[in-house]
Amino acid sequence: MDAYDVIVIGGGPAGYVAAIRCAQLGMSTALVDEYIGKSGKPALGGTCLNAGCIPSKALLDSSEHYDRVRNKYASHGIKTAEIDLDIPTMIGRKDKIVSTLTKGVEGLMKKNKVTWLKGHGQLEAGMKVGVIPTGGKGDKQVYQAKHIIIATGSAPRTLANISIDHERIVDSTGALDFQEVPAKLGVIGAGVIGLELGSVWGRLGAEVVVLEAMDDFLAMADGEIAKAALKEFKRQGLDIHLGTRVKKAEADADGVTVEYEDAKGGHTLRVDKLVVAVGRVPHTEGLNANGIDLFIDESGYIHVDEFGSTNVPDIYAIGDVVRGPMLAHKGSEEGVMVAERLAGKKTRVNHDTIPWVIYTWPEIAWVGKTEEDLKQEGRSYACGTFPMRASGRALAMEETVGLVKVIADAETDEILGVHIFGAAASELIAEAVVAMEYQASAEDLACIVHAHPTVSEAVHEAALDVHRRAIHK
Ligand code: FAD
Ligand code: NAD
């Protein structure tokens, strides 16, 4: 029986990063993964590279280019002749980016001497992992491990009253592969996926109707930012309905009929395609967790402590399959932490400074506490804000929608949260993460020189505004 120091189950951003770090630290490492890519062949990178972060951002970028040409270039004095859309080419570009990256991960495995065991991994007693080869190629192989890291990720949450037929009614994976722009697109769930993929198809010309169950829009974001974002997304044409209850959705040859209720009563909506994006659930199917008494909590997550240890000695879990936000970078950092702790280091992950980004345009990004969190905690705080329309660079770019908000402790001035709705928010938030990691005060951020003209000056001004010292507001 082949034996390894570490066997990682799951080759997404949590698992493959953990495997690389283990190998870098001198441990013999195998990575078990069963993902079959769009080409029909095994592909590393998990949800993120194959059907998540990367393909969605490729399409967001393409659709943003199209939107700029159609709606934004004229004011710059750039005139365009008639423009045309070639969706298969756009989808092909996205697929090429995905395969470049998944092959890149395969190359990293080879370079780091991580053995890729292609197949379905199962936990077995005595620190063994059974691997059922992909595509029924041979019998189950069993491997011995000193340590096992579980990184089996998550899967889309389904609704009992709506069946995904992968044609008319799709999940996020299906919504990345439409071959033409649906004239009318329904989206259930105004969360991250609903907004990102709704934006993609909306920019490309679809009429997009979003049905959200909650009364509040983007409840996890800061309320002031969510309010500004809702206003802007509605202006962009996303028809967002809050406080809805979808009763049923049925597909036929021409489209989908959705029945839902809201405070005004019952409604029927007819769409060409329907995307169900109502969250994701941890994936442990077929892992044989029960067989080795691995504790899974009531929500389906593998229970871990702050260092990723499960209740079974020498078995760890990381990424979407454990508590915390389902974000690629969170899983990767947990992977590095577990690998380094196996090598005797004292690495930890600060879950309080994990940045969130929603890749709409403008983007939404934040780190730390919202005003609502702090009110609930009864903590006293001070806020500084700065509108993008007062930033010279944002004006020059004609990207004046949005704001930056810095929240600091009223007594110590330590930054507790930074919230951005605006152009390049995904890049700007990194400065806030660094500041918070170093427990900077709003004053510290305010004292740092920011280049002019840059959008980052808006972060500087919002920090100054905590003490009502903003210059350009
Ligand atoms: P996964 O990426 O889900 O990987 C798990 C892997 O394990 C898969 O390959 C699976 O096939 C394999 N596996 C499972 N069980 C077994 C088994 N028993 N044996 C063998 N293999 C197994 N996050 C961001 O941070 N930024 C984004 O922009 C972003 N965009 C997203 C867009 C979409 C449309 C979606 C759906 C998600 C997005 N996410 C984003 C979330 C991100 O994809 C996940 O947080 C991330 O992929 C989780 O990584 P993971 O390694 O824990 O799991
Ligand atoms: P989500 O949790 O962000 O949003 C789901 C939304 O669906 C919520 O607003 C919820 O209230 C709503 N909902 C739930 N049940 C409903 C129902 N029956 N009818 C109507 N609305 C309903 O989940 P998601 O958008 O599916 O994305 C899943 C996860 O994937 C995200 O939470 C995030 O962790 C990850 N993700 C991250 C990014 C990013 O980092 N940019 C992008 C996409 C996905």
Tell me: the pLDDT tens digits for 355-383? 999 999 999 999 999 999 999 999 999 99
Q: Cβ(174) to ligand 1 under 6 A?
A: no
How many residues can be counted in the chain? 473
Atom of ligand 1 nearest to the CA of 175: 34
Closest approach atom of ligand 1 to CA 330: 25
Is 117 a pocket residue for ligand 1 (Cβ < 6 Å)?
A: no
Q: Could you tell me the distance, in angstroms and rounded to a whole number, from the CA of residue 188 to the centre of ligand 2?
A: 9
361 vs 73, 89, 228, 266, 340, CA distance in Å?
Answer: 16, 22, 12, 32, 37
The residues, ordered by sequence, that sit 6+ positions from 280 with a Cβ below 8 Å of its Cβ are 154, 155, 156, 157, 320, 326
Going from the Cα of 206 to the center of ligand 1, the distance in angstroms, rounded, reads 28
Please tell me whether the peptide bond between 453 and the residue prior to it is cis, using omega within 30 degrees of 0: yes
What superfamily in CATH does domain 3-156+281-349 come from? FAD/NAD(P)-binding domain (3.50.50.60)
Alpha-carbon span 259 to 138, nearest angstrom:
47
| Amino acid found at 330 | K
Atom of ligand 2 nearest to the CA of 359: 41
Residue 36, ligand 1, Cβ within 6 A: no
pLDDT tens, the chain, 473 aa long: 899 999 999 999 999 999 999 999 999 999 999 999 999 999 999 999 999 999 999 999 999 999 999 999 999 999 998 899 999 999 999 999 999 999 999 999 999 999 999 999 999 999 999 999 998 778 999 999 999 999 999 999 999 999 999 999 999 999 999 999 999 999 999 999 999 999 999 999 999 999 999 999 999 999 999 999 999 999 999 999 999 999 999 999 999 999 999 999 999 999 999 999 999 999 999 999 999 999 999 999 999 999 999 999 999 999 999 999 999 999 999 999 999 999 999 999 999 999 999 999 999 999 999 999 999 999 999 999 999 999 999 999 999 999 999 999 999 999 999 999 999 999 999 999 999 999 999 999 999 999 999 999 999 999 999 999 999 99
Compute the distance from residue 309 Cα to the ligand 1 centre, in Å.
20
- Does 283 sit in the ligand 1 pocket, CB within 6 Å? yes
- How close is the Cα of 253 to the center of ligand 1, in Å? 32
Strands in 159-299 per DSSP E:
169-170, 184-188, 207-211, 239-241, 245-251, 256-262, 265-271, 273-276, 280-282
Q: Whose CA is nearest to atom 38 of ligand 2?
A: 192
- Which atom number of ligand 2 is nearest to the Cα of residue 277? 26
May I ask the CATH class of domain 169-278? alpha beta
Task: Tell me whether domains 3-156+281-349 and 169-278 share a fold.
Answer: yes
What DSSP designation does 305 have?
-
Domain formed by 355-465, architecture: 2-Layer Sandwich (3.30)
| Probe residue for ligand 1, chosen from 35, 48, 281, 356 as the CB with the greatest number of ligand atoms within 8 Å | 48
Six-digit token string for 286? 């077929």
Task: Please tell me the distance between residue 162's alpha carbon and the centre of ligand 1 in angstroms.
Answer: 23
Say how far apart CA 233 and CA 214 lie, in whole Å: 17
Q: How many CB atoms lie within 10 A of CB 155?
A: 16
Ligand 1 pocket, residue 48 CB under 6 Å: yes
Nearest atom of ligand 2 to the alpha carbon of 211: 20
CA of 378 to the centre of ligand 1 (A): 36
Distance CA 152, CA 243 (A): 33
Nearest bound ligand to the CA of residue 276: 2
Which residue's CA is the closest to the ligand 1 atom numbered 36? 52
Residue of minimum CA distance from atom 3 in ligand 2: 191
* CA atoms of 471 and 454, how far apart (whole Å): 15
Specify the residue for token string 């509040």: 216
Which residues' Cβ are closer than 6 Å to ligand 2? Answer: 159, 188-194, 196, 211-214, 246, 277-280, 325-327, 357-359
* Binding site membership of 145 for ligand 1 (Cβ less than 6 Å): no
Q: Is the peptide bond between 362 and the residue preceding it cis, with omega within 30 degrees of 0?
A: yes
pLDDT at 314: 98
The residue extents of the domains of the chain are: 3-156+281-349, 169-278, 355-465
Q: Which atom of ligand 2 is nearest to the CA of 356?
A: 40
Mutate to test the pocket of ligand 1, among 31, 44, 47 (most ligand atoms within 8 A of CB): 47
Catalytic residues: 452
